Amino acid sequence: MAAVSAIFIYPIKSCRGISVLQAPLTPTGFRWDRQWLVVNYKGRAYTQRVEPKLALVEVHLPNDAFLEDWNPSETSFLAYSHFAVIKAPGMDVLKVPLREPQQNADGVSVWEWSGSALDEGDAPSKWFSDYLGKPSRLVRFNAASQTREVDPKYGPGHQIMFSDEFPYMLISQGSLDALNTVLKEPVSINRFRPNILVDGCEPFSEDLWTEIKIDNVIFQGVRLCSRCKLPSINQETGIAGPEPNETLKNIRSDTVLHPNHKQKGKIFFGQNLVWKNLAVEGKGKIIKVGDKVNILGKVSSIAEAVV
């Protein structure tokens, strides 16, 4: 039976992820996932597509932050355990309080969405401006006043923070292993930035999953994850190359997977998910490494998978 083998959180969009043993769920994704965003002087999002140096930015959160009901204390917020600690080559350590800031930043935009966010202030702004060599600010999604809807064609009623399209993304170890057998140089799972890695299933079997249950949580598979240039960026160096995207074009393109559909030149790796049973009570609002993955529904062939 398939089981969760790793869980990844990406607190700052396009910066390095964190591998955790457990993670609380929210309707917009795992808690802390893509909650922060680095923007330019116009408020437009920076991503690795244009700033690959973001791959080298490490974000560390306290272990307590991944407990189900943990919140930063109002009275002891200066404790080291109540900060996000941010590091990058050649830079001093930056500490950002996990308590939400009070300052607003208007005109923030990421892809099709624009709105206001919470501004983390001058120290993070200077840090990222110095690191990227251009005016930058660090902002946080303001869930109290803002919403960002998932494409209603695929996830009606669901929302995200600063993720690209969907709250969760799953890949199997079998799929990564199968890809690596045809690559000249194997790549790590960090090239694909999943939230959930599962093991114990056949390669690309996740393509077919339309509904899965992990512990008490039911996820709906809404569409295969189409990949941009980011997998071609080495996450240890921030340097882009042709692989694995060139190989994926040969084995995971819409031409190969859906030859009878309109071709858009896309490549696919992984399955996007939404949290289906949002009203689950008590236990079940957190998933852990080792949890079993039960397949509740699937399509019969890749030709039926939604892309």
pLDDT digits 0-9 by tens, 202-238: 999 999 999 999 999 999 999 999 999 999 999 999 9
Coil, strand or helix: which one is 2? coil
Cβ proximity of 226 and 266 under 8 Å: yes
Region 149-177: mean pLDDT is: 97
Residue 122, exposed/middle/buried by CB under 10 A (0-12, 13-18, 19+)? exposed
**CA 257, 262, 265 angle in degrees (round to 5)?**
65
Q: What is the pLDDT of residue 77?
A: 47
pTM to 2 decimal places: 0.95
Tell me the pLDDT band of 284, cut-offs 50, 70 and 90. Answer: low
Q: Quick one: average pLDDT of 150-163?
A: 96
- Give percent above pLDDT 70 in the chain: 95
With 90 as the cut, is the pLDDT of residue 292 above it?
yes
Average pLDDT of the segment spanning 52-81: 80
Mean pLDDT over residues 113-126, rounded? 98
Percent of the chain topping pLDDT 90 = 87
Least confident piece of the model among 109-123, 231-245, 252-266: 252-266
Q: Which ranges of the chain does DSSP label H, i.e. alpha helix?
A: 122-132, 173-182, 245-251, 254-257
Give the helix, strand, coil percentages of the chain, each rounded to 5: 20, 35, 45
CA angle 128/132/138 to nearest 5° reads 30
3-state secondary structure of 38: strand
